[in-house]
Structure 1
């Protein structure tokens, strides 16, 4: 039973991509909500991947809409 990201934080440069791979047996639906950048994925089943580009600098929290305790802090630098 995983239901978490494989790390709690990551640092990127503007325009870099994070690949999210569902490595457990649950559906996940990831999203980011902020005034500067928002993203909302479809549900992803086991083994499915999703690439998300972070186009602006800032600090963002990626969450799972199905498992709200999941969180990944993303720091994006210019």
Structure 2
């Protein structure tokens, strides 16, 4: 291999490595961002939300779990800022809801009107 070809080979190798390093850095930061997610779980049992208050980050997802063996639940929220409706939740079912707006919200159960959950979204 002559010196000109060798120098061209080294130049491409350095550029190739720099590109690989940049792509690796991006992929690593995307993967680490996913690790920062926090799982928020709310149990519906005994005609109560457990816990009855929670604080999450904007964009956070709450998993509503019906932990009752024989009761149907139906979590919902209806405000001008944000709304959702899980529909009827059979015992053992899980439904995820993402809170996209900041604020303080009171989630209710359509089946059990005394059930209330306060969600603070930062």
Tell me the TM-score normalized by structure 2.
0.61
1:10 paired with 2:67, answer: no
- Cα distance in 2 for residues equivalent to 1:15 and 1:72: 18
- Cα distance in 1 for residues equivalent to 2:87 and 2:95: 10
- Higher RCO (C-alpha 8 Å, min separation 6): 1
- Cα distance in 2 for residues equivalent to 1:42 and 1:9: 21
Q: Give the number of the structure whose residues are more often strand, by fraction.
A: 1
Aligned length: 77
Which residue number in structure 1 is paired with residue 119 of structure 2?
74
Which residue number in structure 2 is paired with residue 40 of structure 1?
85
Any gaps of 5 or more consecutive residues in structure 2? 1-44
Which residue number in structure 1 is paired with residue 96 of structure 2?
51
- Shift of residue 52 of structure 1? 0.6
- Cα distance in 2 for residues equivalent to 1:31 and 1:21: 13
- Cα distance in 1 for residues equivalent to 2:64 and 2:84: 13
Which residue number in structure 2 is paired with residue 26 of structure 1?
71
RMSD of aligned Cα (Å): 1.0
- Cα distance in 2 for residues equivalent to 1:71 and 1:58: 16
Any gaps of 5 or more consecutive residues in structure 1? none
Instruction: Pick one of 98, 105, 112 that aligns with 1:60.
Output: 105
Tell me the TM-score normalized by structure 1.
0.94
